[in-house]
Amino acid sequence: MMRQSIRDEVTKLTSRLAQRCHPGVAEQYAAQLARYARLDIACDAFNAFTGFRPADDEDVFDLLSRRRREIADLLAGANLDAFEQEKVGGLFLAIPYFSWCSDKQPVFLVNRTSQAVTYIRRRLYAFASADDGIDEYQTAGSGFADGIAAGAVIQPGERLQIDDYSMSYDGDFVSNRRVVLIIEDERAEWFVSVSKLAGFLWDEDLHGFHELKRTQSP
């Protein structure tokens, strides 16, 4: 009876996870989704005893959670690749995500236009509500400072990693992100606001793609 109950839970969870994926990814990675579901339920069973399980079991939980994380990273990347192909026109910042994926994920500048784009620099202002007001932080970078200037020209259909995103830290903030680009010899600033958890908390339907809007020449 218990075995059947666990099997049913795995089946239901696998179905829910598949619905969060691109249809092509759900089909291609069906075995990985089922394995992820089994690992997730096993991890939940261990978590139910947090603070009570013997220390000797920590390595077992760590192994299960690591394997779950590896599959989550695979699915996050596969979904991003698949949904990217459906983007027609526009410039995007894209961040992969799947539940329990690795904390650090790449931030890609994605060129789905018909023109080459040259990346110059980035700027970030992030904020979150706190008990005593507003927590905020700012960062900045550039192609030269980040050591990616050699690949700063992004051809149509290509993408470039310009930053990293921490799910545990950045994910608590709403971030306003600005990038300076050169398109057809014209230099301009582009802007997008990314909600919490790389957008997957409030804007899950974006599938990690946040369209940049032109603001003004810097």
pLDDT digits (tens, 9 = 90+) for 114-171: 999 999 999 999 999 887 888 999 999 999 999 999 999 999 999 999 999 999 999 9
Amino acid at 105: Q
Mean pLDDT of 107-118: 97
The fold adopted by the segment(s) 91-214 is Immunoglobulin-like (2.60.40)
SS3 189: strand
pLDDT of 1: 42
Nearest residue to 167 via CA among 93, 211, 102, 78: 102
Give 126's Cβ-side CA count (13 Å radius).
20
Cβ-based burial of 67 (10 A; exposed 0-12, middle 13-18, buried ≥19): middle
Residue 218 has pLDDT above 60, yes or no: no
pLDDT of 57: 75
Q: How far apart are CA 43 and CA 69, in angstroms?
A: 11
pLDDT of 129: 84
Are residues 83 and 101 in contact, defined by beta-carbon separation less than 8 angstroms? no
State residue 19 phi and psi, 5-degree precision.
-70, -20
Q: Report the predicted TM-score, pTM, of the whole model to 2 decimal places.
A: 0.91
pLDDT of 45: 81
Q: What pLDDT, in 10s, does the model give residues 12-52?
A: 999 999 999 999 999 999 999 999 999 999 888 877 665 66
Cβ-based burial of 49 (10 A; exposed 0-12, middle 13-18, buried ≥19): exposed
The CA–CA distances, whole Å, from 198 to 44, 89, 167 equal 24, 21, 7
